[in-house]
Amino acid sequence: MANNRPREFDEGPQTAFGKAFPTIKNIRVEVVQGNSFSWNPSEPRIYSQSNLGEYIECRERCQDGGFRVGALVNEMEKRREIDREITAYCQGREKRTQRRCKNRFSVDIHIEYLDVGPS
């Protein structure tokens, strides 16, 4: 799966974020997770460049779940977007039943860019 990840972001959040996203000064990603059928939201999880990985993981009962936040950040950086709010759906399966996971993630991303002068 690492071949599908943007640049070197899959090496680990602390060492790879700066290499993967050299124009980003600060990032804040707020994630609230809940079930698609009855929205009982979790407490918000907050991520920054020091703890943000390629994927936001789903709950323990889910197998191979979560969603790929690295692709969103990659796209935002290319467009120099500052803010984005999305709803993402889990790509995993329930461990016990092997049915598709019904969780969704409400995601709010805010990026501050480094000032890049003329080359």
Q: What is the pLDDT of residues 29-80, one digit of tens each?
A: 999 998 866 666 788 999 998 888 888 999 888 999 999 999 999 999 999 9
Asked whether residue 97 is assigned to any structural domain, the reply reads yes
Look at residue 20 in the predicted model and tell me its pLDDT.
86
User: For residues 76 and 107, what is the distance between their CA atoms, to the nearest angstrom?
Assistant: 14
- The better pLDDT of the pair 93, 59 is held by 93
Band of residue 108 on the pLDDT scale cut at 50, 70, 90: very high
User: For residues 24 and 52, what is the distance between their CA atoms, to the nearest angstrom?
Assistant: 13
Asked whether residue 116 is assigned to any structural domain, the reply reads no
Query: Over 90: is that where the pLDDT of 5 sits?
Result: no
Whole-prediction pTM value? 0.80
Asked whether residue 15 is assigned to any structural domain, the reply reads no
Number of domains in the chain: 1
Domain that holds residue 60: 39-108
Give CA separation, 62 vs 31, 42, 73, 74, in Å. 17, 15, 24, 26
Query: Over 70: is that where the pLDDT of 9 sits?
Result: no
